[in-house]
Amino acid sequence: MSTQVNESQVPTGSDDLDTETRIFEAALKVFARKGKDGARLQEIADEAGIHRPLLHYYFRTKQQLYEAVAERLFTDFLLSFDAPAEGGRFADTLKAFIDHYIDSVREHRHAAMWMVTENMAGSPILGEMLARAFATEGSPQRAMVEAVELAVESGEIRPVDARQLMLTVVSACVFPFVTLPTVKMMNPLAAEDFDAYLEERKAHLFEVVCHGLASREVSDA
Amino acid sequence: MSTQVNESQVPTGSDDLDTETRIFEAALKVFARKGKDGARLQEIADEAGIHRPLLHYYFRTKQQLYEAVAERLFTDFLLSFDAPAEGGRFADTLKAFIDHYIDSVREHRHAAMWMVTENMAGSPILGEMLARAFATEGSPQRAMVEAVELAVESGEIRPVDARQLMLTVVSACVFPFVTLPTVKMMNPLAAEDFDAYLEERKAHLFEVVCHGLASREVSDA
DNA sequence: AGAGTGTTTGACAACATAGTCAAACAATAA
DNA sequence: TTATTGTTTGACTATGTTGTCAAACACTCT
């Protein structure tokens, strides 16, 4: 860990938000990057541009800071979903889902990293949250699964397991953010103009998932 | 982090390998789960079923242990690639790539997690490794990109950016392992018989990437 | 058995990190 | 101006973690 890509080495502290908010955002970043045990309060304080005892003044303990950030994170995450538009062609629903998901992860990249870190540490929290969402009548998550199943039944799309499909699309949307330094090193466009790269990625992903690679002339079972 | 999915809570120490190997494997797991800063030597020692000072006896310092494991990890990772078979249909090449990649990540799950952790902490090491591999004439990584480009030129597959495609496929292969607890909670088959789930996943991913979702009857631009 | 080798152990020292606290400070209202 | 309130600071303590070491141990060879 001696050499590091300088990821926004400008500390969050330069924004002129109030102290509590700055701590909050700094904690989000550091916990996301390093996990709960890997994060140091000093590192969070530096990132926020404040003195360490202030962390305790505002959030008492590391544990409580962690929980406070986690709670807002999870709410935001679930709320960041749109319900798929009813009725339209499935291709449009899919396009909207991909575009929105990638935008959402761009905005909440550290939230995504946080969830990944939690998962790698073995925490069931994301699973519980999603299971609850999928079980909730009318939740955007469940609606998306139902949209897929409906499209399969109506023959609009080829038969496919809805959960496998969701996992595939979500993987393809989230993973590049989780491996951001690598992506930026492998793709010049990603390094120069990341937003443009993401637009390209949205288009690519939709193309592949919707139409596949096989050219139309080639027929197959 | 209070509640955790009991991921192989049987410590590695139960295998009757020699001490050094047990430390090695325990370190791999713990570093992968927690990152370098999050990992505690005591935790590694417990996982290996040995006393902590033995870590220092065999590897001197935490840093050196980390580097020793990282080095073998990276070599193994690069070697775990097969060159794509020359000449065959691209669909076969793709199928082989997906199958092999998923098998490879299953075997080296903690290696994959390690890389993700490194990336999230901002390390350029994976990017450097891959950039080198892609620049090396005749490397399996480069061969795969060339196979895609060849298939595009010959019209065997629709026009697609080879690097975007690789990222999409790799994301879809790796991400489920990185979010394993969640995947197991969302999909009953994954919880009951993970190997069977992976076979299903291989088939699904190939189907989607190769043929897409659109049913053949629907024509489009 | 006894010397020699490599391994394991428990006790310890040095350092890093979390958390506390009283004093200093800034802003405001009386 | 002086209280009052909430915020910030530096110094401090307690605990956790890494790293060291000498003694104990197990094993082989003579």
| Beta-carbon separation of A185 and B34 below 8 A | no
- Cα–Cα distances (Å) from A82 to A77, A136, A214, B194, in that order, read 11, 15, 31, 31
A118 is a domain residue: yes
The arithmetic mean of pLDDT across residues A93-118, rounded, is 95
Q: Are residues B27 and B58 in the same domain?
A: yes
Report the gap between the CA of B164 and the closest CA in chain A (Å).
Answer: 7
The arithmetic mean of pLDDT across residues A169-187, rounded, is 98
Q: What is the ipTM of this complex?
A: 0.91
Q: Are residues B95 and B123 in the same domain?
A: yes
| Beta-carbon separation of A164 and B204 below 8 A | yes
Q: Is A212 on the interface with B (CB under 8 A)?
A: yes
Tell me the average pLDDT of chain B. 89
The arithmetic mean of pLDDT across residues B168-173, rounded, is 98
Asked if B100 and B82 count as a contact pair (C-beta separation under 8 A), the reply is: yes
Domain, as residue range, for A61: 9-69
Could you tell me how many CB contacts below 8 A there are between chain A and chain B?
263
Q: Are residues B99 and B163 in the same domain?
A: yes
Residue of A132 and B215 predicted with greater confidence:
A132
The yes-or-no verdict on residue B79 having pLDDT over 90 is no
Residue of A7 and B84 predicted with greater confidence:
B84
Confidence at residue B14, expressed as pLDDT on a 0 to 100 scale: 57
Q: Are residues B26 and B128 in the same domain?
A: no
How does residue B7 score in pLDDT terms, banded at 50, 70 and 90?
very low
Confidence at residue A68, expressed as pLDDT on a 0 to 100 scale: 97
| Per-residue tokens: B137 | 């004439």
Instruction: Tell me which residue in B3, B123, B163 faces A181 most closely, judged by beta carbons.
Output: B123
Confidence at residue A16, expressed as pLDDT on a 0 to 100 scale: 72
A151 is a domain residue: yes
Sign, Cα dihedral of B191, B81, B23, B39: negative
Q: Are residues A94 and A183 in the same domain?
A: yes
Q: Are residues B143 and B59 in the same domain?
A: no
Confidence at residue B2, expressed as pLDDT on a 0 to 100 scale: 38
Half-sphere exposure of A33 (CA within 13 A, CB side): 23
| Per-residue tokens: B140 | 């399996």
Confidence at residue B8, expressed as pLDDT on a 0 to 100 scale: 44
Report the gap between the CA of B82 and the closest CA in chain A (Å).
Answer: 20
Instruction: Tell me which residue in B3, B209, B217 faces A212 most closely, judged by beta carbons.
Output: B209
Tell me the average pLDDT of chain A. 89
Question: For A56 and C29, how far is CA from C1' in angstroms?
Answer: 29
Amino acid at A17: L
B218 is a domain residue: no
* pLDDT tens-digit map of B120-143: 999 999 999 999 999 999 999 999
* pLDDT tens-digit map of B27-37: 999 999 999 99
How does residue A191 score in pLDDT terms, banded at 50, 70 and 90?
very high
Q: Are residues A172 and A92 in the same domain?
A: yes
Q: Are residues A59 and A113 in the same domain?
A: no
Give B32's contacts in chain A (Cβ within 8 Å): 120
Residue of B177 and A16 predicted with greater confidence:
B177
Which of A42, A69, A96 is the last residue before a domain boundary?
A69
* Residue A216 φ/ψ, nearest 5 degrees: -60, -35
Looking at residue A97, which CATH number applies to its domain?
1.10.357.10
The yes-or-no verdict on residue A56 having pLDDT over 70 is yes
Question: For B53 and C9, how far is CA from C1' in angstroms?
Answer: 9
The arithmetic mean of pLDDT across residues B80-94, rounded, is 85
Looking at residue B21, which CATH number applies to its domain?
1.10.10.60
| Beta-carbon separation of B160 and A207 below 8 A | yes
Region of residue A220 (left: phi > 0; alpha: psi -120 to 50; beta: else): beta
B89 is a domain residue: yes
Q: Are residues B139 and B99 in the same domain?
A: yes
| Beta-carbon separation of B119 and A181 below 8 A | yes
The answer to whether some atom of strand C lies closer than 7 Å to the beta carbon of B63 is no
Rounded to a whole number of angstroms, the CA Rg of chain A reads: 20
| Beta-carbon separation of A213 and B210 below 8 A | yes
The arithmetic mean of pLDDT across residues B14-27, rounded, is 89
**DSSP label at residue A214:** B
Q: Which nucleotide is nearest to B20 (CA to C1')?
A: C7
The yes-or-no verdict on residue B219 having pLDDT over 60 is no
Q: Are residues A65 and A90 in the same domain?
A: no
Q: CA-to-CA distance for B39 and B33, rounded, in angstroms?
A: 8
Sign, Cα dihedral of B137, A208, A167, A197: positive
Min mean pLDDT across A124-128, A177-181, B8-12 is at B8-12
CA end-to-end distance (rounded Å), chain B: 50
Question: If contacts are CB pairs under 8 Å, which of residues 46-85 in chain B contact chain A?
Answer: none
The yes-or-no verdict on residue A221 having pLDDT over 60 is no
Q: Are residues B63 and B107 in the same domain?
A: no
The structural domain count of chain A equals 2
B97 is a domain residue: yes
A216 is a domain residue: no
What is the percent of chain B where pLDDT is above 90? 80
The answer to whether some atom of strand C lies closer than 7 Å to the beta carbon of A42 is yes
Q: Are residues A52 and A114 in the same domain?
A: no
Confidence at residue B6, expressed as pLDDT on a 0 to 100 scale: 41
Confidence at residue B145, expressed as pLDDT on a 0 to 100 scale: 94
B3 is a domain residue: no
Confidence at residue B117, expressed as pLDDT on a 0 to 100 scale: 97
A2 is a domain residue: no
The arithmetic mean of pLDDT across residues A187-205, rounded, is 97
Residue of B16 and A28 predicted with greater confidence:
A28
How does residue B82 score in pLDDT terms, banded at 50, 70 and 90?
confident
What is the percent of chain B where pLDDT is above 70? 89
Using a 10 angstrom Cβ sphere, with 0-12 exposed, 13-18 middle and 19 or more buried, the burial of residue B29 is: buried
How does residue B80 score in pLDDT terms, banded at 50, 70 and 90?
confident
* pLDDT tens-digit map of B45-72: 999 999 999 999 999 999 999 999 999 9
Confidence at residue A168, expressed as pLDDT on a 0 to 100 scale: 97
